[in-house]
């Protein structure tokens, strides 16, 4: 899934944990649930437009990347007080895509990034998906699949509005 989906989930988890639990359990459970949420959300990646490699020549792909990263960055700024939930909901991507991918690129002195290679956590997510959600269609290259993620985000935004009002 994309950045904004994980950001919205992290915000919702932090709000719920801080309403339900007292210190320090609110912090502990926010970290735990936000981190684990990434496994659940990314297990459903097959039903979204989420190509394993960049499609730099495709204006639709480029526009979708700008929208997802732009809206994700906007949400991070707008909901800065929920940084704990946001950070831990995105920690798996930070480790696998930003840290490990660069580490392997430098270690093996390869200037080319292997966009198809999942490193640590995403291998676990792939196994979860393989054994539990094998029945889902693979729409990763289907442009219409942006609707799936938009609908998921709409439900998350409705939940966020419900909890904040």
46-61: pLDDT as tens digits: 899 888 788 888 899 9
**Is the Cβ–Cβ distance between 145 and 2 less than 8 Å?**
no
pLDDT exceeds cutoff 80 at 135: yes
Taking residues 125-138, report their average pLDDT.
90
How many domains does one find in the chain?
A: 1
Which pLDDT belongs to residue 91? 96
DSSP secondary structure of 1-49: --HHHHHHHHHHHHHHHHHH--TTHHHHHHHHHHHHHHHHHHHTGGGS-
| Residue percentage of the chain with pLDDT more than 70 | 93
Identify which of 121, 120, 102, 122 has the alpha carbon closest to the alpha carbon of residue 112: 102
The model's pTM: 0.88
21-43: pLDDT as tens digits: 999 999 999 999 999 999 999 99
**Tokens for 61?**
């792909």
Cis peptide preceding 24, ω within 30 of 0? yes
Range of 87's domain? 3-164
């Amino acid at each position: 899934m994309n950045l904004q989906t994980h950001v919205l989930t992290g915000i919702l988890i932090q709000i719920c944990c801080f309403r339900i639990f007292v210190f320090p359990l609110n912090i502990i459970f926010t970290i735990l649930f936000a981190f684990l949420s990434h496994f659940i959300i990314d297990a459903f990646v097959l039903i979204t437009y989420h190509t394993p490699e960049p499609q730099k020549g495709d204006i639709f792909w480029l526009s979708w990347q700008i929208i997802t990263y732009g809206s994700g960055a906007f949400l991070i700024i707008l909901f800065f007080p929920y940084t704990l939930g946001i950070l831990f909901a995105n920690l798996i991507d930070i480790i696998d895509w930003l840290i490990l991918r660069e580490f392997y690129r430098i270690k093996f002195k390869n200037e080319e990034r292997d966009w198809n290679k999942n490193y640590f956590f995403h291998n676990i997510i792939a196994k979860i998906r393989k054994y539990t959600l094998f029945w889902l269609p693979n729409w990763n290259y289907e442009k219409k699949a942006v609707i799936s993620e938009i609908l998921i985000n709409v439900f998350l935004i409705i939940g966020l509005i419900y909890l904040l009002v």
